[in-house]
Structure 1
């Protein structure tokens, strides 16, 4: 829809000014494109066309449509996960997102039940991941995937190799699933669809859960739900096992003291390796029942009223394989619990 300003035609000097400003803007954008970006495109075309038997001219024409986007670089340097836990939590634990999760759960209850039966992942976790990623499919990203992945693959040195591989995966995915690689939108990191799978994960873990012969993470909620569950199952989800439990410290034990060389995770995930006896000896206390054979890692997050202590178990670590952040996994856990409570409530 056009607003009133859009409907006013530009005439005379005003038109000349508009055209002049437009030309200046286009020139500035062109001048700001790093040379590495342009050279990277050329090298990528030659390498990938040969490796996969792709038409070199067609691939070059496709990548000619890609545009360097400095907003992508700006976004990746300030991720949500850089915030303290209490601020990050407030982004996702909202009444609106909880209500949306309840609606999504009720609308797809049979699919969620089938996914749990097949993969062992409970509906609360599947729904919460979709809610955190794309607000249940209502916001799928604002960046063209081809722009994001070329920008990061050719002009973002810290992770260029990773994003070039994802660009290559996008091209192969487009061929396999009949996706228009020049038009599809996603996140600033090139993640796609309602569950925001990066292209390599789409190729490896997406499933055709509705049996229509293709894996559609935009239009098929069956495929979305099944794919999220399959991803977690393939990364070690344990059916019926706990995820994380709140913890505290015995009187006189200070977490800042290092706890006799016991590692304590913060935002960055650490695989659970400590047995419960070791944790008890270090002064950790918890109320939730845990099997004595369980392995856990202490996690310290920045709460609004001071540190929050948790014990993360194997399933918590599995959630961090979706997004390598303890803040992300905790948001999924707590959002899922809030949604489940609302679904089960009056």
Structure 2
């Protein structure tokens, strides 16, 4: 700790790392002390921009006694090993989703965090988008009655050479679109409907020629019969985000996720009429700045560190989402093995 501020190390300066650097650099009560990345030129540029120390080895952050917190934004293969190295020397850790390639990898980090009495969070920042916060509040207030089912679509079309990026390497990524964007949808579905007892799906290589699926379709069901239908895609040529949540008394529909996903976030609320139709929709415009979700996510994590409690979402939410990912991959493997 530096004076009265928490010192933070950012591990990874790629696309998400750059966003995290901007959020952490002016977050109240913290100092972005170190930025680590194996690309010397890239880390020098971003560390210089935010007046942080540049490092090319995670050991630099691990060995620094001033560092209290590490935010890890690396390809999936390296998330859990980095967490283990930093937890082992007493750092609280916020892991980018999905937290690991498998439940086995993430369980090791969860166990170590518990042994060391440290906070560990898997960063499902989509919970903190304004539209989802608004929807969650509406549900908790009973505005749509008891939630019954969800439909969700999330996707974009990639970019030239996308099939050569690490997300298409099964050893590095652990899977394809299901474990990438799909895991956000799984987490949101759990958040709104509760734990799922059953999961099945189809993973298709529809367009990109690579090791992994570019389209993932999933059906999830709770013990009490609430169902979520999810589609995550890397061949959605017009970037799309849509969430529909139906309850016994009405519905909520979210369209857009800021930036390339329509540039806006809107929540539409409809209520069931006496004739079992829907009345006029209420439209709520939300702040479309996606980086605000990272800010609020880190705010929850920092509060958990200060209050010595588990963050929400916690590492076990990451584990639950990964269990569903593994169940869907297993379901697909069973089909292909027949």
TM-score when normalising by structure 2: 0.25
Rg bigger for which structure?
1
Higher helix share: 1
Higher strand share: 2
TM-score when normalising by structure 1: 0.24
